[in-house]
Amino acid sequence: MVHNINTSKILVGALVAICLGFAQPILAQDAPPPHKRDREEIKARILEKVLEVKHQKIREVLVLDDETAKKFFAQYDPAEKDMLEIVKQKQEQELKLLQLTQGDYKDADVDPTLESIKDLNQKIQKRYEQLDNNLKSVLNPRQRAKLMVFEKEFNQRVREKVKDRIEKWKEKHPGERPFKGKRPEPPIRPNKK
């Protein structure tokens, strides 16, 4: 059970980190400016490429034939999409929590955000358990174990590549912040008199 929690967090965290690390997430806006649309397109292309590579590697590691792969990805893809969305929501709540600790906010604003994060963690865990149960009819126990190990290793490699790219970017752009605008500006504090 502990491995399931860690694996789902790592899997989802890495994919979301890739998406959010390369482009600013869309906040509630009617029509984003052209540069933000470009960022979203880049983010979508990067995610698509990562998932394509990941799916090919999963097929190789689990030694899936075409029929089994079709059944596997029929279960895996929706679960992965669901978990990515939940993790995105969780990260938004975590950012909100960070802002609540830095501004002139009331303590009463913190508890609902903490509860929301706890609920989202439970949703991630439940969705991962549901996926694991659904895969029992498709994969044998050893394949499910290989999947868990693969996800952990794949996500670690993805995080390392993202970190390397950021470091290379910093070398070429000294003094600049990579992905400026990724996080909203800190809240403006009222002047105290």
104-163 pLDDT, tens digit each: 777 788 889 999 999 999 999 999 899 999 999 999 999 999 998 998 898 888 889 888
pLDDT, residue 58, reads 94
Tokens of 62: 């689990």
- Give me the helices (H) in 173-190, please: none
Asked if residue 138 lies in contact with residue 75, where contact means CB atoms within 8 angstroms, the answer is: yes
Residue 7 lies in a domain: yes
3-state secondary structure labels for all residues of 146-167: HHHHHHHHHHHHHHHHHHHHHH
Instruction: Check pLDDT > 80 for residue 36.
Output: no
Residue 86 lies in a domain: yes
Q: Is the pTM of this model over 0.75?
A: no
Separation between Cα atoms, residue 13 and residue 101, nearest integer Å = 23
Separation between Cα atoms, residue 59 and residue 65, nearest integer Å = 8
- Give the structural domain span for 99: 2-24+33-167
Residue 80 lies in a domain: yes
Please count the other Cβ atoms lying within 10 Å of the Cβ belonging to residue 127: 19
Residue 189 lies in a domain: no
Residue 143 lies in a domain: yes
Total number of domains constituting the chain: 1
Closest-CA residue to 80 (of 162, 147, 157, 160): 147
Tokens of 105: 């906010």
Tokens of 53: 């590579």
Residue 184 lies in a domain: no
Residue 89 lies in a domain: yes
167-177 pLDDT tens trace: 888 888 777 76
Residue 62 lies in a domain: yes
pLDDT, residue 44, reads 82
